[in-house]
Amino acid sequence: MATDSPPSRFRLKHLILGHARTIAGTVYGTIAVMAVLAAAARSYEHMLWRLVALTSVTAVVLWLAHVYAHGVGESLQLGRRLTPAEFTSVARREYSIVLAAVPPVAAIALGAIGIVPHDTAVALSLAVGTATLGAQGLRYARLERLSFTGSLLTVMLNLAIGLALVAAEVFIAH
């Protein structure tokens, strides 16, 4: 039986790592989620379900803010109100912000239900976020057809920028 949809492994890859159209939301969402987790982990170290809720709600609020902002911006650019289909397209494109939260939040949930220790859950969630940022740097390096050294530098730069932003949030929060 033939279908037009891609195999499930490709859908899962796009769900976790984003798609070329949604890469900005994936990177933004990953950095935002990691910042929330890193800043709040100590305060909620024995209340991981609250950390799951805080991080999830933050991702949804940021998504809604992006949908609203891009909707207004595109309306002004077009000189008219967006149609429901156009607005839905904006919401779908920006949904990668929420999807970027899923793997790190799932890692925290593993600690909340007792599968892994609390500290391990937080470390795992930050590792997942770091891996996602590294993967986005690698995707860009492949697009540019960079050498091994160029690819390595691109991944390291992507990680450095993302982790510096996370560190800035932690610094401000404490």
Mention every residue, 6+ apart, whose C-beta is less than 8 A from residue 125: 34, 37, 103, 104, 105, 107, 108
- Structure confidence by residue, pLDDT tens digits, 112-134: 999 999 999 999 999 999 999 99
Residues 103 and 131: beta-carbon distance below 8 Å: no
pLDDT at 13: 62
Mean of the per-residue pLDDT values of the chain: 90
pTM: 0.85
Domain ranges of the chain: 21-173
Residues contacting residue 67 through CB under 8 Å, at least 6 positions apart: 87, 90, 91, 94
Q: How confident is the model at residue 145 (pLDDT cuts 50, 70, 90)?
A: very high
Name the residue among 140, 139, 125, 131 with its Cα closest to residue 159.
131
Q: Is the pLDDT of residue 17 over 90?
A: no
Structure tokens at 131: 């891996």
